[in-house]
Amino acid sequence: MDTPTEALHRVFGYDSFRAGQQEIIDHVVEGGDALVLMPTGGGKSLCYQIPALVRPGVGVVVSPLIALMQDQVDALTALGVRAGFLNSTQDFDERQRVEAAFLAGELDLLYLAPERLRVETTLRLLAKGEISLFAIDEAHCVSQWGHDFRPDYLALSELHERWPEVPRIALTATATPATHAEIASRLRLEQARHFVASFDRPNIHYRITTKNEPKRQLLDFLRTEHPGEAGIVYCLSRSSVEKIAAFLADNGIAAVPYHAGLDNRTRAAHQARFLREDGLVVVATIAFGMGIDKPDVRFVAHLDLPKSVEGYYQETGRAGRDGLPATAWMAYGLHDVVQHRRLAMEGDDAHRRRQVLHLDAMLALCETVECRRVMLLDYFGQQDSKPCGNCDTCQAPPESWDGTVPAQKVLSTVLRLRRERGQKFGVGQIADILLGKKTAKVLQHGHDSLSVFGVGADLGNTEWHGVVRQLLAQGLLAVESDYGALVLTDASADVLRGQREVRLRRDAPRVARAKTAAKD
Ligand code: ADP
Ligand code: ZN
């Protein structure tokens, strides 16, 4: 049997481990449970593949990326690793063959779709073989609060009950500290060691601009900064994917569309071209990219606002995996916000609240006057990083205005609700109080008798929402629940005492006005 380092050289052909890998591998090889947070492209797969090769038995990998299992297994087979998968796309015979190989101990790795583990026959099959470890990939899918929830993941907590002695390693590229804690508790990984790799991708330059003529802006960006280079352009809808791909092609840029509405053959062909050719641009919905491993993607462009910061970071993370300079460029406008709000209105209350919070966090990133990277890293729980010098706000500080007084009004409303009434409310109620609106909810709670009632009539509803978003972004306010209840932070006190100035961004699109416009 190889040692981990021997397996790295002999099987995978790499010289050395990347940051974090060896520690994680050693821990799992020794039978420990692990929760691994590593950015996309960080090298998560080796963290379970090598232990699976080193430990006796079969490594069982749970992954939601059914479409990629064949590719993953092919890639491993090419390296001489004995791998197979079980999912719903297979016919009976194929499944039988994999099951027989598993039972005969002829596999190193077995990939499973999560729903397979809800089927008693799969569990019985696993019970008859020897399992070296369970790897739970894309572990954030267990989070009901996250953007990618899969109910089948909840059942994975049972693995521990059935196989208490088998080590489990859960991996994800997207997790805020709250999601992180949720993963640990839902997967019964309370005792697991946590490995948090730095989320920073220093070679990616971040730039977010407001959208006025999106096509021209995109074309300028591609021509001046990435001529002839490979990249991904993300759009929200299939129809804009088609339009933008055609527009780029008309302008002499090699571009192909990719979205779920295309037939399988076309999609596979476009994906294959992207991987193989130099300098192809794929214009895509977010259906494109999961698990795509192309190291030299030089840019990721967003022509519409992503749904969440998690989504944004995952999508932009596909650029520059080779460590060379790459750009994450985005143009967003108020129309995007209207569209997202409309989409968020579908579904139940809890869903709506979550979507709105995700969207607000995304807008806060767009509207920040501070370093984008600092804010992103902070969002993912890496506090106290220094301004990076490699993002637009660092390189050309945006125009800002002194928002100290409005900030004090918001914070003191939050404070008074808490101190005088023992209550917490979301941004809607705070804005209504400041604007002096006698809504049913304001009257019901007697908020019209608060001393701050009506002190904010100098700004509109839009502006108040913007102020709150930027306060959240700057850590001067926090959201406490998924109802969006606002609470003060340690830093709020300095603003309330007048010891800290608050700068707000001037060029942020006027969001609430867009809401009214949508009704026209
Ligand atoms: P993730 O799952 O974290 O997004 P992958 O496991 O797909 O990342 O790894 C990203 C890329 O880095 C792959 O091409 C992989 O082969 C490569 N890689 C991983 N570990 C190493 C290493 N120690 N040395 C060189 N390349 C590595
Ligand atoms: Zn920066």
Mind listing the pLDDT tens digit for each residue in 405-420? 999 999 999 999 999 9
CB of 44 within 6 A of ligand 1: the answer is: yes
Contact 408, 493 (CB under 8 A): no
Atom of ligand 1 nearest to the CA of 173: 3
Q: Mutual orientation of helices 427-435 and 461-473 as an angle, nearest 10°?
A: 130
Contact 491, 475 (CB under 8 A): yes
Atom of ligand 1 nearest to the CA of 39: 3
What secondary structure letter does DSSP report for 385?
A: P
Range scoring the smallest mean pLDDT among 210-219, 305-314, 333-342, 385-394: 333-342
Atom of ligand 1 nearest to the CA of 40: 4
Q: What does the pLDDT look like over 131-174, one tens digit per residue?
A: 999 999 999 999 877 778 888 999 898 899 999 999 999 999 87
Name the pTM for this structure: 0.70
Rg (CA), the chain: 25
CB of 14 within 6 A of ligand 1: the answer is: yes
CB of 17 within 6 A of ligand 1: the answer is: yes
Please report which ligand is nearest the Cα atom of 135. Answer: 1
Q: How far, in Å, CA of 371 to CA of 378, rounded?
A: 11
CB of 172 within 6 A of ligand 1: the answer is: no
CB of 18 within 6 A of ligand 1: the answer is: yes
Ligand 1 pocket test, pick from 11, 12, 23 with the greatest ligand atom count within 8 Å of Cβ, gives 12
| H or E stretch at 310 | helix 309-316
Q: How far, in Å, CA of 316 to CA of 306, rounded?
A: 10
Mean pLDDT of the region 336-345: 74
CB of 293 within 6 A of ligand 1: the answer is: yes
Q: What does the pLDDT look like over 289-307, one tens digit per residue?
A: 876 778 899 999 999 999 8
CB of 40 within 6 A of ligand 1: the answer is: yes
Please report which ligand is nearest the Cα atom of 45. Answer: 1
Range scoring the smallest mean pLDDT among 250-254, 354-358, 439-443: 354-358
Amino acid identity for residue 307 in this structure: K
